[in-house]
Structure 1
Amino acid sequence: MELGLKGKKAIVCASSRGLGRGCAEALAEAGCSIVLNGRDEAVLAATRSTIEDQFGVEVRVVVADVSTRAGQEALLSACPEPDILINNNGGPPRKDYSELDREALLEGVLQNFVTPVELIQAVTPGMKQRGFGRIVNITSLSVRMPIEGLDLSSGARAGLTAFLAGVCRQLAPHGITVNNLLPGKMDTDRLKGGFARAAEQSGRSIDAVRAEQAAEIPAQRFGTAEEFGQTCAFLCSRQAGYITGQNILLDGGLFPSAF
Structure 2
Amino acid sequence: MDLGLKGKWAIVCASSRGLGRACAMALAEEGVNLVINGRNTETLSATAAEIRTTYGVEVVEVVADVSTPVGQKALLAACPQPDILVNNNGGPPSRDFRQLDRAALLEGVTQNFVTPLELIQAVVDGMAERGFGRIVNITSLSVYLPLAGLDLSSGARAGLTSFLAGVSRTIAGRNVTINSILPGKFDTDRIRSTSRFAAEKAGMSEADYDEKQRGEIPAKRLGRPEEFGKACAFLCSTHAGYITGKNLILDGGLYPSAF
TM-score (norm 2): 0.97
Partner in structure 1 of residue 147 of structure 2: 147
Please list every run of 5 or more consecutive structure 2 residues that lacks an aligned counterpart in the other structure: none
The structural deviation recorded for 1:203 is: 6.4
How far apart, CA to CA, are the structure 1 residues paired with 2:95 and 2:27?
34
User: Match of 1:29?
Assistant: 29
* Residue ranges of structure 1 left out of the alignment (5+ in a row): none
Equivalents in 2 of 1:183, 1:211: separation in Å?
Answer: 19
CA distance in structure 1 between the partners assigned to 2:162 and 2:231 by the alignment: 22
Q: Secondary structure at the match of 1:244?
A: coil
The aligned counterpart of 2:135 is 135
Q: Distance in 2 between matches of 1:139 and 1:199?
A: 23
What residue identity is the alignment partner of 1:224?
R
Matching of residues 39-50 of structure 1 within 5 Å: 39-50=39-50
**Conserved 8 A contact 2:94-2:197:** no
Residue aligning to 2:85: 85
Change beyond 3 A, Cα 1:141–1:201: closer
How does 1:38-77 map onto structure 2 within 5 Å?
38-77=38-77
Q: Deviations over 1:81-131 (max 9, x none)?
A: 100000000001111222211111111110000000000000012101110
Q: Which amino acid aligns with 1:249?
A: I
Equivalents in 1 of 2:42, 2:226: separation in Å? Answer: 22
Contact kept in structure 1, 2:95 and 2:150, CA below 8 Å: yes
SS of corresponding position for 1:254: coil
Aligned to 1:160: 160
Which residue number in structure 1 is paired with residue 99 of structure 2?
A: 99
**Distance of 1:199 and 1:246 partners within structure 2:** 33
CA displacement 1:21-64 (0-9 Å, x = unmatched): 00000000011001110100000000000011111100010000
Question: Which amino acid letter does the alignment assign opposite residue 234 of structure 1?
Answer: F
After TM superposition, give the deviation of residue 141 of structure 1 in Å.
0.3
Instruction: Give the Å deviation of 1:74.
Output: 0.1
Q: Report the alpha carbon displacement of residue 199 of structure 1 after superposing the two structures with TM.
A: 4.9
Deviation (angstroms), 1:6: 0.2
SS in 1 for 2:34: strand
Aligned-residue identity in percent: 66
Distance 1:41 1:69 in 2: 19
Aligned residue type for 2:51: I
Is residue 247 of structure 2 the alignment partner of residue 247 of structure 1? yes
Compute the RMSD of aligned alpha carbons: 1.2
- Per-residue CA deviations over 1:143-185 (Å, capped at 9, x if unaligned) read 0011111111111000000100110001101110000000000
CA–CA separation in structure 2 for the residues paired with 1:110 and 1:175: 28
Alpha-carbon shift at residue 66 of structure 1 (Å): 0.3
Confirm or deny: 8 A CA contact 2:12 2:34 kept in the other structure: yes
C-alpha distance in 1, partners of 2:145/2:119?
27
CA distance in 1 between partners of 2:193 and 2:93 (Å): 11
Q: What amino acid is the match of 1:42? A: E
Give the paired residue count.
Answer: 259
The aligned residue for residue 214 of structure 1 is 214
1:202–1:113 CA distance, 2 compared to 1 (3 A): closer
Q: 1:127 to 1:210 in 2, by over 3 A?
A: same
**TM-score, normalised on structure 1?**
0.97
Distance 2:171 2:255 in 1: 30
Counterparts of 1:256 and 1:201, CA distance in 2: 24
Q: Quick one: distance in 2 between partners of 1:207 and 1:108?
A: 29
Letter in 2 for 1:5: L
Question: 2: CA distance between counterparts of 1:242 and 1:94?
Answer: 36
**Paired position in structure 1 for 2:233:** 233
**Shift in CA distance, 34/148, structure 1 to aligned 2, threshold 3 Å:** same
Q: CA deviation at 1:136?
A: 0.1
Question: Which amino acid counterpart does residue 2 of structure 1 have in structure 2?
Answer: D
For 2:174 and 2:201, locate their aligned partners in 1 and report how far apart those are by CA, in whole Å.
51
Per-residue deviation, residues 58-84 of structure 1 (Å, max 9, x unmatched): 001000000100000000000011000
